[in-house]
A and B are shown apart, each in its own frame.
Chain A
Amino acid sequence: MKKNLLALVTGLLLSLSIFAQNNPEQVEMADTMRSNGKIYVVIAVILTILAGLILYVVRIDRKLGKLEKNQ
Chain B
Amino acid sequence: MSHKNIFNMHKSWWKILSVVLLVYTFTAGILMKVPRLPQLQETIRNLYFHVCMWFAMMILFIISVVHAIKYLRTNNLKNDICSREYASVGIIMGILGYATGAIWMSYTWADPNIPSVTFSLIAKEPKLIGAAIALLIYFAYLVLRDSIQDIDKRARVSAVYNIFAFAMLFPSIWILPRVLPSLHPGGSEGNPALDFKSADPRLRMVFYPAIAGWTLLAVWITTIKIRMRYIKDKSILNA
Interface of A is mostly: helix
Bound form: Cα–Cα A69–B38 in Å: 56
Whether A60 pairs with B224 at a CB distance below 8 angstroms is yes
What residues of B have a CB within 8 angstroms of the CB of A71 in the complex? 231, 234
Bound form: Cα–Cα A67–B8 in Å: 12
Decide if B202 is an interface residue (CB 8 Å cutoff).
no
Shortest Cβ gap from A70 to chain B (Å): 10
Decide if A36 is an interface residue (CB 8 Å cutoff).
no
How many residues of chain A have a CB within 8 Å of chain B? 25
Shortest Cβ gap from B218 to chain A (Å): 11
Bound form: Cα–Cα A36–B38 in Å: 23
* A24/B35 contact (C-beta < 8 A), A42-B30, A69-B3 known: yes
B1-49 contacts to A, CB under 8 A, are: 1, 3, 7-10, 15, 19, 22-23, 26-27, 30-31, 35-38, 41-42
Shortest Cβ gap from B213 to chain A (Å): 10
Contacting residue for A46 out of B7, B30, B227, CB 8 A: B30
Whether A65 pairs with B26 at a CB distance below 8 angstroms is no
Whether A29 pairs with B228 at a CB distance below 8 angstroms is no
Interface 1/0 per residue, B37-69 and A, CB below 8 Å: 110011000000000000000000000000000
What residues of B have a CB within 8 angstroms of the CB of A25 in the complex? 36
Whether A28 pairs with B41 at a CB distance below 8 angstroms is yes
Chain B residue nearest in CB terms to A67: B231
How many residues of chain B have a CB within 8 Å of chain A? 28
Decide if A18 is an interface residue (CB 8 Å cutoff).
no
Whether B224 pairs with A64 at a CB distance below 8 angstroms is yes
Shortest Cβ gap from A59 to chain B (Å): 10
Bound form: Cα–Cα A64–B10 in Å: 9
What residues of A have a CB within 8 angstroms of the CB of B9 in the complex? 58, 61-62, 65
Whether B26 pairs with A50 at a CB distance below 8 angstroms is yes
Residues of A in contact with B (beta carbons under 8 Å apart)? 22, 24-25, 27-30, 39, 42-43, 46-47, 50, 54, 57-58, 60-62, 64-65, 67-69, 71
Can you sample 12 A-B contacts with CB below 8 Å? A30-B41, A39-B30, A46-B30, A57-B217, A57-B220, A58-B15, A61-B15, A61-B220, A62-B7, A62-B9, A64-B224, A64-B228
